[in-house]
Structure 1
Amino acid sequence: MISGSGTNMAALLYASRRADCPFEIALVASNNPAAAGLVLAAAEGVATFVLPHKGMARADHDAAMEAAIVASGARTIALAGYMRILSPGFVERWNGRMVNMHPSLLPKYKGLETHARAIAAGETHGGCSVHLVTPELDDGPVLGQIAVAILPGDTAATLSARVLLAEHQLYARCLADLVSAPTDPAWLTGKVRDLALALPSSEETLSHGMTCFGITKGKKFAYVSVNHHGDARTSLLVKISGLDEQEALIDRDPDRYYRPAYFGNDWIAIRLDQDEPDWDDIADRLQRSWLAIAPRRLAALLGG
């Protein structure tokens, strides 16, 4: 989403042309019909959408922009000089999937006039940050930063020009990491870890080459299998009620569920590396598996 020249959009576009880049640009959308970035995108064969915001309620304009984005098939939004504050509902719907470039080393100098403020404050470095977008302006989790030295005699304009070079380097790397995360074994393991260790008296260990979770000094209730025996899958293994449930799950979705090798009929493997998992369901599966092996005194903590 752009409002002007689209230099960061161009940097992302050309980065996407690399054979090893995990993202592509599905649409360039703007609120400004005169945005130069639209001309470049069209010349490069990228679909564009433009809708002036003047005279429209913010939520209505956001809804129209969002409809075009969804229709394009895009799964992540990169704000690249989009000079409109987005409505909270729009931001919440794209939670974790919308990123922005900000020309400062956040949390310093949120908002506008970042370079002038950094120089006036006597900073030795300015810089740029890529962050996830949240309803509060320039406040989302930072995904990456590059510091840029402030030279003697620098003005906001000269510093801005050098920071822009850093922005072009940083944005593509951070966006690539973000879109790759849902299939990255380390990232998936980390998501499972957070949910598993939130259960009472849980601990993490390593067993048979797999990260696993169990009751402290007790039985295991979950394993994360990453390319186990060369199967090229990243999966969560949890306990279930038995063979009937195992067969029912596999019959319902054989691409998602499978019978884990070397485990009994009271275990199921759930693929994590396909479409984004339903993490609420994963949390529920972990809790049920934990309850299956937890001593009564602990199970009572979760109403089991």
Structure 2
Amino acid sequence: MAEKAKIAVFISGTGTNMAALLYASRLESSPFEIVLIASNIASADGLALAELEGIPTFVHSHKGHSREDHDTAMEAAAKQAGTEFIVLAGYMRVLSDAFVERWDGRILNIHPSLLPKYKGLDPHARAIEAGDSHAGASVHLVTPELDAGEVLAQAKVAIAPDDTAETLQARVKLAEHQLYPRAVADYVARGNDPDCLFGQLRSLALALPETHERESHGSPGFRVGSEKSGKFFAYFSDRHHGSEHIALLVKTSGMDELLNLVEAQPDIYYKPAFYGASGWVGVILNRPNIDWDHIEEWLGRSWRAVAPARLTKLLDAADMF
């Protein structure tokens, strides 16, 4: 089984969503584990539960500190715990833009509305006042704009004719407890999902000029040039030939560079069994915190190695502007 993603949960209160995440993480099939519960409120009830369950905790009051200084303390604790993803569960602080940007794509939040409806406060009362048939909850990525990140999952909850904000909130909370662990699990597992990884790789490869996709020796590949005479510049390998890796295979300058890369950074590179003898290196995709800009650079470099001169000249000219 793949190594579990390490998650820090930030809370400010009772921590019921944190508890749902915690007990879901104890299931054998869970792709994540909670390595830290952190709070800005020392009396938050959720901290007591975390301590009871043996989860490390951290508290840093926001009072008397700038937003940036408080975020720095919380971030330091998360990093020390080995955190890969931060999950907000009733954390009543707006994170600084710089913090969010440093953790781009790795902070999740749950909001009690069907986003993009009713961002911010009082979503239940606003849904009732608007005469909506359903309210609900949304799990989304955190961005500098409040409640505006990509929505990852939603759960709908019917609104009863006699609902108040309080009665509706209670039912939405039950939905949140079902939704959040599933959405977090699905999101953190994407790094080991070959379909997801291939989709991201494919979009980058086909964005290069005059490229097309073609299978080769059972692996999806990408070529530059015409359908008849094009040359391969990249392959996608899903644990082929006994490898444990999901990887991008790209051309290096030769065997010396390939072996140097593998020796210096074995957590990123490996020598593919079938293609390695020809100087192709495997860039591991199913690893924590993958840098897709780095993958894009390798695709571009490998593309240039086989593309016709007329195409590389056009690309060089475009890069100047």
Percent of aligned positions that are identical? 58
Q: Aligned partners of 1:72, 1:245: CA distance in 2, in Å?
A: 35
1:273 alignment partner in structure 2:
286
2:140 alignment partner in structure 1:
131
**Aligned-partner SS, 2:34:** coil
Conserved 8 A contact 1:246-1:265: no
**Aligned-partner SS, 2:71:** helix
**Aligned-partner SS, 1:5:** coil
Q: Aligned partners of 2:63, 2:290: CA distance in 1, in Å?
A: 39
**Aligned-partner SS, 2:33:** coil
Q: Aligned partners of 2:76, 2:271: CA distance in 1, in Å?
A: 40
1:173 alignment partner in structure 2:
182
Conserved 8 A contact 1:9-1:37: yes
**Aligned-partner SS, 1:27:** strand
1:143 alignment partner in structure 2:
152
**Aligned-partner SS, 2:12:** coil
Shift of 1:257: 2.8
1:62-77 maps to which residues of 2 (within 5 A)?
62-77=71-86
1:122-271 maps to which residues of 2 (within 5 A)?
122-215=131-224, 216-217=226-227, 218-263=230-275, 264-271=277-284
CA 1:76–1:277: 2 relative to 1, 3 Å? closer
Deviations along 1:140-189, one digit per CA (max 9) or x if unpaired, are 01110011111121111111111111101111111112221122212221
Conserved 8 A contact 1:259-1:269: yes
TM normalised by structure 2 equals 0.90
Query: Comparing 30-39 with 121-130, which one deviates more in the overlay?
Result: 30-39
Conserved 8 A contact 2:47-2:57: yes
Query: Comparing 3-12 with 66-75, which one deviates more in the overlay?
Result: 66-75
Shift of 1:204: 2.1
Query: Comparing 128-137 with 171-180, which one deviates more in the overlay?
Result: 171-180
Deviations along 1:233-286, one digit per CA (max 9) or x if unpaired, are 211111222233223323333454333334352322222223433322221111
In the alignment, structure 2 segments of 5+ residues that lack a partner are 1-9
Deviations along 1:78-102, one digit per CA (max 9) or x if unpaired, are 1001111111111111111110000
CA 1:275–1:111: 2 relative to 1, 3 Å? closer
Shift of 1:36: 1.0
Query: Comparing 271-280 with 27-36, which one deviates more in the overlay?
Result: 271-280
Deviations along 1:10-67, one digit per CA (max 9) or x if unpaired, are 1001111111111111111111122111111111111111122122111111111111
* Equivalent in 275, 282, 295 of residue 282 of structure 1: 295
TM normalised by structure 1 equals 0.95
**Aligned-partner SS, 2:50:** helix
* Equivalent in 86, 89, 93 of residue 80 of structure 1: 89
Conserved 8 A contact 2:241-2:273: no
CA 1:47–1:252: 2 relative to 1, 3 Å? closer
**Aligned-partner SS, 2:35:** coil
Conserved 8 A contact 2:84-2:288: no
2:53 equivalent to 1:44: yes
Shift of 1:225: 0.6
Conserved 8 A contact 2:241-2:274: no
Q: Aligned partners of 2:293, 2:128: CA distance in 1, in Å?
A: 46
2:315 equivalent to 1:302: yes
Q: How many residues align?
A: 304
1:118 alignment partner in structure 2:
127
Query: Comparing 152-161 with 108-117, which one deviates more in the overlay?
Result: 152-161
Q: Aligned partners of 1:24, 1:120: CA distance in 2, in Å?
A: 39
CA 1:157–1:187: 2 relative to 1, 3 Å? same
**Aligned-partner SS, 2:199:** helix
Q: Aligned partners of 2:298, 2:201: CA distance in 1, in Å?
A: 11
2:7 alignment partner in structure 1:
none
Give the CA RMSD over aligned residues. Answer: 1.6
